[in-house]
Amino acid sequence: MKVVATYNIKGGVGKTSAAVNIAYFAARDGLRTLLWDLDPQGSATYLLRVKPKVKGGGDALVRGKRTLGDGIKGTDFDGLDLMPADFSYRNLDLDLDGTKRPTDRIRRLLAPLRKEYDLVVLDCPPSVSLVSENVVHATDVLLVPLIPAMLSVRTYDQLIDFVDTMPGRKPQVLGFLSMVDSRKKAHRELAARLPSDHASVVAEAIPSRVVIEQMAEERAPVPAFAPASSATAAYEALWGRVRSSLTGTG
């Protein structure tokens, strides 16, 4: 079982959009895939039409006895399952910043599912700290969306340094350009320069496209409703890159 996380301390940069589309392509390629919505806001859960559990529902009674597997929901797409956000927080006592819990909590929760899934995609919330050690410890590939702006490049560099200095198991960090607007000169320049400056930033960029925003109305991955769009092609290429990185990781 391999684990990929979409990760960035900044909000609204395309983490959830990437996580959902990449998980879709992984399942289409025959990998048994679990998308774990770690964001209490539940955007990925919403995009895949899974209902949030009503507050105060019966499961309060059995709190503490439940495992990750109890919360998993099948999606409309073959081979793609979802772990909804609310279940994680109400039943699993998650604390991503790792102040109260050991930093390998995610890994331990995933351990019983090793045989059931080939790939787990973690959709992370924007983090309060630079790095959630819990996420970093759990993943093989940390997929970081980068808005083409100088500031985001600086935080990215800090993230790379941080992961480098971390003790123990380290994920491979892959940056990709997100929401690239080719009409903007600054975007074009950065998009051309970054992959050559930074070995870990991949050339497969995600353009800014209306169809990606439409995911919220369609409540489905882009390839499910706009299979011929350039956004579909871009996510598919990005998935291809992630997949080859995964085969390289132990």
Partner 1 sequence: MKGVDGGQFWSGLEPSAVPAALTALAVDHAVAMDRPVAWRRTWLDSIDLRLYRSGMALTAVEGADGDGSVLELSCPDGVTVRAGPDMLGWPRVPARLPDGLRPHLEPVLGVRALLPMVEASGTSVTGRLLDDEGKTVVRLVHERPATITGGREQLPGGLGLVPLRGYDAAGERAARIAHRAGLVPDTPSRYPAALRAAGIDPDASSRAVMEPGLPARAAVARVLLSFLGQLEAAVDGTVSDVDIEFLHDLRVAVRRSRSAVKLLGDVLPPGLVAWAAPQLRLLGELTTPARDLDVLLQELPSLTAGLTGDRREDVEPLVLHLAGLRADEQRRLAAGLRSPRFERFRARWRASLLALATWDGQPGAGPTAAEVVVERLDRAHRRVLRRGSRITDASPAQDLHDLRKRTKELRYLLEVLPTTTDPADARVVIKELKAVQDVLGTFQDSETQRDTLHSLATELMSGDGASARTIFAMGEIAARLQEDQDTSRGEFAAVFERFSRRSAQRPTARATAGVAR
Ligand X SMILES: Nc1ncnc2c1ncn2[C@@H]1O[C@H](COP(=O)(O)OP(=O)(O)OP(=O)(O)O)[C@@H](O)[C@H]1O
> Which residue among 59, 104, 126, 127 contacts ligand X (CB under 6 A)?
126
> Which residue among 12, 40, 51, 158 contacts partner 1 (CB under 8 A)?
51
Six-digit token string for 159: 């993230």
Task: Bin 42: left if φ > 0, else alpha if -120 < ψ < 50, else beta.
Answer: left
- The whole-angstrom separation of Cα 7 and Cα 11 is 10
As measured in angstroms, the least distance from the Cβ of 210 to ligand X is 7
16 or 245: CB nearest Mg ion: 16
Is residue 201 within 8 A of residue 146, CB to CB? The reply is yes
17 or 134: CB nearest ligand X: 17
Segment 74 to 133, residues that bind partner 1, using CB under 8 A:
74-76, 81
Give me the 18-57 binding string for ligand X, x by CB under 6 A, dash otherwise.
---------------------x---x--------------
> Which residue among 206, 220, 222, 246 contacts ligand X (CB under 6 A)?
206
- The whole-angstrom separation of Cα 134 and Cα 215 is 29
**C-alpha torsion 124→233→194→167, nearest 10:** 30
As measured in angstroms, the least distance from the Cβ of 149 to partner 1 is 36
Q: Based on the shown chain and the rule CB under 5 A, indicate whether residue 17 belongs to the binding site for Mg ion.
A: no
As measured in angstroms, the least distance from the Cβ of 217 to ligand X is 10
DSSP 117-183: -SEEEEEPPPPSSS--HHHHHH-SEEEEEE-SSHHHHHHHHHHHHHHHH--S--PEEEEEE-SB-TT
Q: Please, what is the end-to-end C-alpha distance for the chain in angstroms? A: 10
Sheet holding 119-123, edge to edge: 73-74, 80-83, 33-37, 119-123, 2-6, 141-146, 172-177
Q: Based on the shown chain and the rule CB under 6 A, indicate whether residue 208 belongs to the binding site for ligand X.
A: yes
113 or 131: CB nearest partner 1: 113
- The whole-angstrom separation of Cα 105 and Cα 221 is 29
84 or 223: CB nearest partner 1: 84
Count residues contacting partner 1 (CB under 8 A)?
12
Q: Which residues bind partner 1 (CB under 8 A)?
A: 48-51, 71-76, 81, 219
Q: Which residues bind ligand X (CB under 6 A)?
A: 11-17, 39, 43, 126, 178-179, 206, 208-209, 212-213, 215-216
